[in-house]
Amino acid sequence: MAKRKKAKKRRTKATAKKSARKVVRLSSARKSAKKANGNGLPRPSNKPYGMAGRALDGLRILDFTHVQSGPTCTQLLAYMGADVIKVERPGAGDITRGQLRDVPNADSLYFTMLNGSKRSITIDSKHPKGTEILNRLIKTCDVLVENFAPGALDRMGLTWEHIHKTNPRMIVASVKGFGPGPYEDCKVYENVAQCAGGSASTTGFREGPPLVTGAQIGDSGTGLHLALGIMSALYQRNRTGRGQKVLCAMQDGVLNLARVKLRDQQRLAHGPLTEYSQYGEGVPFGIAVPRAGNDSGGGQPGWIVKCKGWENDPDAYLYFITQAPVWGAICDVIGEPSWKTDPEYATPKARLPKLKQIFARIEQFTMTMDKFEAMDLFNKHDIPCGPILSMKEIAEEQSLRSTGTVVEVDHPTRGKYLTVGNPIKLSDSPADVRRSPLLGEHTDEILKDVLGFKAAEIAEIKNSGALSAPPKKEKAA
Ligand code: COA
């Protein structure tokens, strides 16, 4: 009896000691974590850079986007590691799958280059069973991204109130053509946004009509803005615990990119825009910012000049900037050393009215060499300039391949194709650039692994018709 009592005492003592050690260990761990970080962040990872997962691992996106603006945003998030589940209409999918097709029966480059690294599920969002699946997806995803025409999401029953009630943490991110106002109900495509955002009126040559630019600043530009909005909303959710709506209007996105022209509009009230070549040519300014051809938008005058071979090669040109700090070097290289001290040329102000003549002289010089030789020569003297690269040259440029900006991926029905990888490089998160999914390629996998449906339930869902295209109506005889 006494022996047993002694043993019990020993055990109790040992347990007490153990738990005391535990308490000490836990509290000291917390203390040292606090000491190390001070802001509740985990300790810095010991894993080598690039081996600690991807930036957006664990983030799940319900991707209701189509065409270009929305898909640009979600593709970027997928490259950064998010699990992007693209919901597409059964039988049809994103309309771009079939637009501008180059290979018969294969998804177009239009689609494949905007939907890489995503998973595709087909759901008829207007079918009752489809609604049920979508509600389940809303519960498990962090962000819903859409760029339907105004009102389309509501017509599917996916109002903000419904989504927020179903998952208060969900962020609902939308691209629309216009923000609230007279045009809010309008459908909008790229060039409409370029026109409404102030870009077209300020692009092109003064004597010609407004011009749209090839860079998709309305679609892709707004998609990029949306990605930033989503990231900010996610960061705020860490504090508030709740989601919010993120809206990017294409008109706003274009205007944001064209803000230097709104700057110039206000400067007009105080006199002519002296850095525009129209000033040097003595052409009076009107009431609005004019088109400025290839004038530079900043304080250092620039223009496009011809290089050797321009007669046959439409891209044998160089953009040349007469940056003030290297004016002396420019004069020496082009063979006009006297311009360094001649009061007619020596200061930026004196040069402004003569820009046309100065660029004509520079062009005389650049026409003696090809654009790459010119680039090499001027860069030796720290003179800013850039060759006009064709898309062919860009596709073949090895340095863009080695940085992952241009990536070749393999596709089961169209074979190899080039896509633009992640232009944003993260040192600890290598980009995950994979081919685009086939229509509905991941339907079963998502139903099973993400939503937890059993095989029998999946069969029932399939039988309901929620995942397939409605049967084609018989034509009347
Ligand atoms: N199941 C069932 N129906 C679906 C569906 C699915 N999985 N996915 C889409 N639909 C339906 C929508 O509910 C909508 O139906 P409704 O109008 O009867 O309610 C319909 O498909 C078409 O959607 P919508 O967005 O109007 O497509 P559209 O081809 O007519 O217009 C745009 C295309 C781009 C002009 C328009 O979506 C738009 O203005 N978007 C906002 C701005 C934008 O992003 N523009 C740039 C695009 S790159």
pTM listed for this prediction? 0.90
Per-residue confidence band for 20, with pLDDT thresholds at 50, 70 and 90: very low
For this structure, is 332 an active site residue? no
Query: Does any ligand 1 atom lie closer than 6 A to the CB of residue 147?
Result: yes
> 361 C-alpha vs ligand 1 centroid, how far in Å?
53
Q: Does residue 370 carry a pLDDT above 80?
A: yes
- Supply 131's token pair: 């609604």
Collect all residues with Cβ–Cβ distance below 8 Å to 229 and sequence separation of at least 6.
173, 246, 247, 248
- Residue-wise pLDDT for 200-223, tens only, equals 999 999 999 999 999 999 999 999
Query: Which residue's CA is the closest to the ligand 1 atom numbered 6?
Result: 89
pLDDT of residue 18: 44
Within 13 Å, how many C-alpha atoms sit on residue 219's CB side?
22
pLDDT at 17: 44
- CA-nearest residue for atom 9, ligand 1, is 89
Where does the pLDDT of residue 247 fall: very low under 50, low under 70, confident under 90, or very high at 90 and above? very high
Q: Is the minimum distance from the CB of 69 to ligand 1 under 6 angstroms?
A: yes
Give residue 469's pLDDT band: very low, low, confident or very high (50, 70, 90): confident
- Work out the angle between the directed axes of helices 128-140 and 455-464 (0-180°, nearest 10): 130
- Whether the pLDDT of residue 303 is over 90: the answer is yes
CB atoms within 10 A of CB 466: 22
| Burial degree of 202 (CB within 10 A; 0-12, 13-18, 19+) | buried
Q: Is the pLDDT of residue 324 over 70?
A: yes
Tell me the per-residue pLDDT of 147-181, one tens digit each, with 9 for 90 and over.
999 999 999 999 999 999 999 999 999 999 999 99
Q: Mean pLDDT, to the nearest integer, of 407-419?
A: 97
Tell me if 144 CB under 6 Å of ligand 1.
Answer: no
pLDDT at position 15, please?
Answer: 44
pLDDT of 59 higher than 90: yes
Q: Is residue 75 exposed (0-12), middle (13-18) or buried (19+ Cβ within 10 Å)?
A: buried
Of 3-7, 23-27, 50-54, 285-289, minimum mean pLDDT range: 23-27
Catalytic residue among 63, 142, 219, 264: 219
Residue 6 pLDDT: 54
Asked whether residue 415 carries a pLDDT value surpassing 60, the answer given is: yes
Q: How confident is the model over 303-326, as a mean pLDDT?
A: 98
* CA 409 to chain centroid: 19
Q: Average pLDDT of the chain?
A: 92
Compute, in angstroms, the gap from residue 398 CA to the centroid of ligand 1.
39
Residue 40: the pLDDT is 81
Question: Which contacts (CB < 8 Å, 24+ apart) does range 229-233 have?
Answer: 229/173, 230/73, 230/77, 230/143, 230/145, 230/171, 230/173, 233/143, 233/171, 233/173
User: Quick one: tokens of 20?
Assistant: 């005391």
**pLDDT value of residue 14:** 46
State the average pLDDT over residues 57-67: 98
Note the pLDDT of residue 394.
Answer: 98
